């Protein structure tokens, strides 16, 4: 058998040209619809990401301002004013007496 005789034996089914073009157009339309949905999904995701980035920037600015206000509130001057408002008094170290507990003593009922 030669290659020429094999080619003559193999027969391909005839495809109607009209069916071929119809299937090709349907396939192209299907791919276009999927492409449109993918592009739409990608654009909506990018828009969401931009919104999240803006929100992160806003929260970062708010965090910085809260850190600054916290540092102001917890400053030593403000603490001394708060202690004076609460009527705390400064004591001398000589006036402080500590209670000594011996290790051998146990509280019993």
Within a 13 Å sphere around the CA of 55, how many CA atoms are in the beta-carbon half? Answer: 6
Model confidence at 29, in pLDDT bands (50, 70, 90)? very high
> Is pLDDT above 60 for 1?
no
- The Cα-based distances of 101 to 81, 95, 96 in angstroms read 36, 19, 16
**What is the rounded distance in angstroms from the CA atom of residue 70 to the CA atom of residue 14?**
83
> Is pLDDT above 70 for 108?
no
More confident: 91 or 55: 55
Q: What's the pTM?
A: 0.47
């Amino acid at each position: 058998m030669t290659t020429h005789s094999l080619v003559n034996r193999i027969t391909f089914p005839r495809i109607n040209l009209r069916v071929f073009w119809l299937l090709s157009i349907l396939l192209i339309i299907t791919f276009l619809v999927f492409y449109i949905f993918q592009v739409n999904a990608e654009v909506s995701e990018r828009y969401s990401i931009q919104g999240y980035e803006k929100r992160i920037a806003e929260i970062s600015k708010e965090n910085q301002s809260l850190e600054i206000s916290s540092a102001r509130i917890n400053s030593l001057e403000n603490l001394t004013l708060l202690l004076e408002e609460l009527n705390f008094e400064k004591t001398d170290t000589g006036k402080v007496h500590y209670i000594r507990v011996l290790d051998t003593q146990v509280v019993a009922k």
